[in-house]
A and B are shown apart, each in its own frame.
Chain A
């Protein structure tokens, strides 16, 4: 019997606006109206400024550990732009731009990193989940959220974001397998930024692309230039269409780069070359988009200067709101444990004690008498 291939495939890479500023008119024309491109660019600049300020807040002791998003803004922003409000965004922690585009108040993200759970009080109807700290766990929730949409027939989909490192976790594979085999409307959006803290992507995936992980589950997959917001928008739109009409999941690998340290607790100089960093600075999604706008006469230095001022005021106001929030009562962490507080917690909360003599003042009094 001859040996013959039973399956052959290839992985495509989508770029519309490349790092040299070349724009694919065929794919890109009319993809995003000019005024929206301007709005997206403005949003990126504001988010970039947030990183700068958050970094300073951490260094001056006003905020805990913070993960900069710098260099990755086009990914989640493009996705949030391409999706509808009813679609879920199930994020990790480097998707500020997409979350703010959706409408998450900026001070909530600040509060989260300031060690305050009120940062997770997501306003109703936003359809976003809280930042996920445990890596590679949230994708299963997206699969469940997509499943619920299919169950209800409400035409919604779920888009989940995660890093290259997260694709090593077992939960990631289970999420992909469920979504593909149960025909669920889910978009798996991997931000391959080359690093998982100090570990290069090669340790997570020795295949030439992460995108091909989707193949193993029989889902459509594509690699996009993650610093090209046009490519991201097109890939997510195509995936959303597939999800809405055929209930099929898609895996998108967005190739991008973390221009900052992993978090403010990290020092990337310990493990990565300056050369690599410098090369990626030239591919900055914000610079690329600015070039596109300049070339079309949609932007100029004076607009940039006033945007910069606006960004500063915007962030300063958000920081102010986060800082001005009333102090948490010391017992606040008892409040949201259950819908109804059980007696043991009531007792602990009212005394702020765990020792029996401390939390049962009555027994303690009796003992004094005895």
Chain B
């Protein structure tokens, strides 16, 4: 798997939210994207996952041009995402949230028939995915009544159910207690190790990012201001400046 981003740009009125971003996400890597509020991180995610169309530039996945593909097509191609503001099916039971994605992956969305055996297999698989993110025992709870951290975990589980090759997580640790952040961080490393999923993470906790990432892209005002492994980013002048100017919510 490789995801190549070439000269991606997106304007909102006069604002260049994403400005000529070029980077490559390597196979099975944990690649963080950091930068101050409004740097364009979420917009970049939206451009990659088909939520927004770029004004310029190109996204290639395993060498195929996927620019302008719809989110559903990208999901089937193996690109999953989670959302900065948790996006789950609140009124449905936890397990159904995941089962929907499992069925979708199996190409059943338009199916008007599903055997008991098949549905049982789908639920079994959903249960395993839920266990992976620590939601075992909560299968039949209404998703919306889960605590915040569990909802974020469910958001990840839904993405995982697509068996993605790459997963983009927009601030998966936001709003969590220290202990929960550790758990999710561990989960992220495990997903890469056990499932071989490449993970792109947007995160404000720089300490965590340094520890977790193979590679870091730093954005500011829509542009990439630095990129490299944590050791390089730690010493980068432009990044230090961004910190000194107090833009970082570290």
Question: Do the two chains bind?
Answer: no
Which residues in A have some Cβ–Cβ distance to B below 8 Å?
Answer: none
Which residues in B have some Cβ–Cβ distance to A below 8 Å?
Answer: none
